[in-house]
Amino acid sequence: MVTHPSKPAVLNGEAPSRRALDTADIHQLTRQHRYGVLVVTERRDGTIVSQTYSSLTSAGRKLDRVRERGLIARAVLVELRAVADADAALGDPL
């Protein structure tokens, strides 16, 4: 995913980090594909696993499934940013 750091995310005229987000704002941000939901869960063997979802609905279903098993689950809204151009770093001729 390529993002443009020169264009900060704006929601209703404000940067999201400058105010508290409500549920409607989070839904709108996850649809922009610059944001995702990081879900950190515990497996039955005690291993901690993290997954990033682009849909708040999917992340919510994962949280529900894990919590039904009596295991720990947390979710965090995250901004997705490219850290390097993978093709250039690997020397891709295309």
Q: Tell me the pLDDT tens digit for each residue of 60-72.
A: 999 999 999 999 9
**pTM, two decimal places:** 0.56
**41 exposure class (CB count in 10 Å sphere: 0-12, 13-18, 19+):** buried
**Rounded Cα–Cα distance for residues 87 and 93 (Å):** 8
Q: Tell me the pLDDT tens digit for each residue of 4-39.
A: 344 444 444 555 454 556 666 766 665 666 888 999
- Kindly indicate the confidence band of residue 58, based on its pLDDT and cuts at 50, 70 and 90: very high
